[in-house]
Chains A and B, each alone.
Chain A
Amino acid sequence: MGERADKLKQVRLQTPVSDEDIAALEIGSVVFLDGVIYTARERVYEKILNDGETPPVDFANLSNVNFHCAPAAACNDDGSYNVGAVTATASFRFAKYLKRWFAETGARVIIGKGGMSQKHYDELFVPAGAVYLTTVGYGTGALLGRGIKHVRAVNWLDELGIAQAMWILELENFGPLLVESDIHGNSLFERNNAEINERVESLYEGLKPPALRRFGETRDKTEELI
């Protein structure tokens, strides 16, 4: 890690991540993971939550860490898998599934890209005692790929394809990740956004607005934009 990383607190965690470890996480700390995680995104959520299909694994005995990810991977002829790089996909799109996902699978740690909104932390994560770890840069795909020691299984591969299938991954020193939200719902992104937002008005100062507006600049769809 570079010299700026030395200014940040570093933590190494074992999955399933214990209550004590989750409670101790501070936003802005750098995390490396050992153990087992699984990938699940829109198609897996829909199969289990909406279509009522039986999960292919027993989450309680597997892991409490859900990675919003699709790996760059290929299936070898001998049935093994070649995982090159792994990076996260933007998580905000999956908020609508998470209340039930937390309740039905016991997930407590979400790894993804971009975090969630404060509303979703307050309404979904805090009641479930869950935290959010964000991948770094979007992404350190090669570094995260190095942290995957073994692909234990790939579920629904034929039906969902490589990108949407549910991958069960065994990790060693998997990272870097950053603690984006803690169990109280504090969010690193929300804090940074608040600071950045203070300057936004001054950025536009002296620039005259365009002649033709767009929806979004007004929410009233009956209004004319000229």
Chain B
Amino acid sequence: MKDQEQGKMIRADAIEQAANRIMSNAAIDIPEDYLSGIRAMIDTEKGDLSAFVLEAMLENWQAASEDRRPMCADSGLPRYYVKSGNEARLEGGFVELEHRLRRATAQATHDIPLRPNRVHPITRQDNNNNVGMNAPEIEYSFEPDADWIDITTVHKGGLFGSDYRMLFPGDGIDGIKRFFLDVLLAFGKRGLACQPAIVGVGLGGSKDTCMMLGKQAACLRTVGSNHPQAEVAKLEGELQELGNRTGLGAMGFKGTSTVVGCNIEVGYTHTGGMPMSVHCFCLSSRRATARLHGDGSVEYRTDPQWFTPYMRRNSVGWDGGAGAVAGAAE
């Protein structure tokens, strides 16, 4: 019995190996959904400079994959999202998991190589391995009736393109649209946001939840995905269309290529408020996921599948997903 249980345990070495591989996949290979989105944008882009930029990016992604070198030198702030099945058992538990993810970060930084971006905010001291106090971030979520763990790494760079604002219910959809435009105009000029971006919007929650949801919407959902709730999905479409009407194209040159996808995530919020955050996942939208099973098998993919029906549940209990999101559009 004990042997059988241990056979189902996810080994720490396997975690470290998978983490090293997704670090490299993320840094080098552009996800297919993002690539398809950009190809479609080139076809409709009338601005020659903006289209030239996008064509150069296609060439760049090809060079990155051929040479096995990072697509961008600002390899961002590598971080992890771990989704653990409720039945998953890890060798050494989560403390060992975190140790292995930190080790993989340092190793991958040297081997790929990534830029060691992480420094102390005041002394600017650099450990030269992208590891430090509170770095890399590791966020967790859980999944019922599963014995696997998903490890996703996201390398998001960019000092430009994110913002937060407390709106109020009376500000309505107008307020949301205005703030969305404010952020794109503030950071889209000269292409500082490295657009076309997957623009993630967090609506609701408390301030920290709002930032977290918006960032996860940008980094953990694919181009072309829709929120299951009809009202939210409709707004995603409207914001994408609005964002591509600003006149800004790639690098801020005149054009129509700013928002390759708009993903909104919502959280129930204070009755008096409507907090909103906006995040731009850039021309190097780097994410990669590994699923590790207890039997030792590992699968790799580029869609993190982070927002499951369980995560978006609206009920007290969990009924297996039948009423996951009220008013869900199917």
| A interacts with B | yes
The chain A residues found within 8 Å of chain B, CB to CB, are 1-5, 7-8, 28, 30, 43, 69-74, 82, 84-87, 89-90, 113-115, 134, 136-146, 161-164, 176, 178, 188-189, 192-193, 195-196, 199-200, 203-204, 206-212, 214
The chain B residues found within 8 Å of chain A, CB to CB, are 42, 48-49, 51-61, 63-64, 67, 69-75, 109-117, 119, 124, 126, 128, 159-160, 165-168, 170-172, 174-175, 177-179, 181, 185, 189-192, 194, 242, 245-248, 250-254, 282-284
Of the candidates B48, B53, B73, which one forms a contact with A136 in the assembled complex, judged by CB atoms under 8 Å apart?
A: B53
Of the candidates B63, B126, B247, which one forms a contact with A142 in the assembled complex, judged by CB atoms under 8 Å apart?
A: B63
Once the chains bind, are B252 and A192 in contact (CB under 8 Å)? Answer: yes
Once the chains bind, are A199 and B247 in contact (CB under 8 Å)? Answer: yes
Nearest CB in chain A: distance from B130 CB, A: 11
Enumerate chain B residues within 8 angstroms of A196, measured Cβ to Cβ: 189, 246-248, 252, 254
Nearest CB in chain A: distance from B320 CB, A: 40
Enumerate chain A residues within 8 angstroms of B111, measured Cβ to Cβ: 74
How far is B75's CA from A163's CA once the two chains are assembled, in angstroms? 11
Q: A8-B52, A74-B113, A211-B168 are in contact. List 4 more A-B contacts (CB 8 A).
A: A84-B70, A142-B64, A208-B172, A211-B171
Once the chains bind, are A85 and B64 in contact (CB under 8 Å)? Answer: yes
Enumerate chain A residues within 8 angstroms of B61, measured Cβ to Cβ: 142
Enumerate chain B residues within 8 angstroms of A139, measured Cβ to Cβ: 60, 72-74, 194, 283-284
Given A137-B250, A214-B165: A142 and B52 interface contact (C-beta under 8 Å) = no
Of the candidates A2, A69, A146, which one forms a contact with B55 in the assembled complex, judged by CB atoms under 8 Å apart?
A: A2
How far is B74's CA from A69's CA once the two chains are assembled, in angstroms? 9
Of the candidates B52, B166, B189, which one forms a contact with A4 in the assembled complex, judged by CB atoms under 8 Å apart?
A: B52
Enumerate chain A residues within 8 angstroms of B167, measured Cβ to Cβ: 210, 212
Enumerate chain B residues within 8 angstroms of A138, measured Cβ to Cβ: 72, 191, 194, 251, 282-283
Enumerate chain B residues within 8 angstroms of A3, measured Cβ to Cβ: 55
Of listed B73, B114, B126, residue having the most chain A CB within 10 A: B73
Of listed A1, A115, A137, A162, residue having the most chain B CB within 10 A: A137
How far is B189's CA from A193's CA once the two chains are assembled, in angstroms? 7
How far is B144's CA from A37's CA once the two chains are assembled, in angstroms? 55
Enumerate chain A residues within 8 angstroms of B165, measured Cβ to Cβ: 210, 214
16 contacts between A and B (CB under 8 A): A2-B58, A8-B49, A70-B74, A72-B74, A84-B112, A90-B192, A137-B54, A140-B59, A142-B67, A142-B71, A143-B63, A144-B73, A145-B69, A146-B69, A200-B185, A212-B168
How far is B185's CA from A188's CA once the two chains are assembled, in angstroms? 17
Once the chains bind, are A85 and B116 in contact (CB under 8 Å)? Answer: no
How far is B288's CA from A24's CA once the two chains are assembled, in angstroms? 45
Once the chains bind, are A142 and B60 in contact (CB under 8 Å)? Answer: yes
How far is B57's CA from A162's CA once the two chains are assembled, in angstroms? 25
Once the chains bind, are A163 and B177 in contact (CB under 8 Å)? Answer: no
Of the candidates A7, A73, A209, A210, which one forms a contact with B113 in the assembled complex, judged by CB atoms under 8 Å apart?
A: A73
How far is B171's CA from A208's CA once the two chains are assembled, in angstroms? 8
Given A4-B48, A142-B60: A161 and B73 interface contact (C-beta under 8 Å) = no
How far is B58's CA from A87's CA once the two chains are assembled, in angstroms? 16
Enumerate chain A residues within 8 angstroms of B73, measured Cβ to Cβ: 69-72, 84-87, 139, 141, 144-145
Nearest CB in chain A: distance from B128 CB, A: 6
Given A142-B70, A195-B247: A189 and B174 interface contact (C-beta under 8 Å) = no
Once the chains bind, are A210 and B168 in contact (CB under 8 Å)? Answer: yes
Enumerate chain B residues within 8 angstroms of A207, measured Cβ to Cβ: 174-175, 177-178
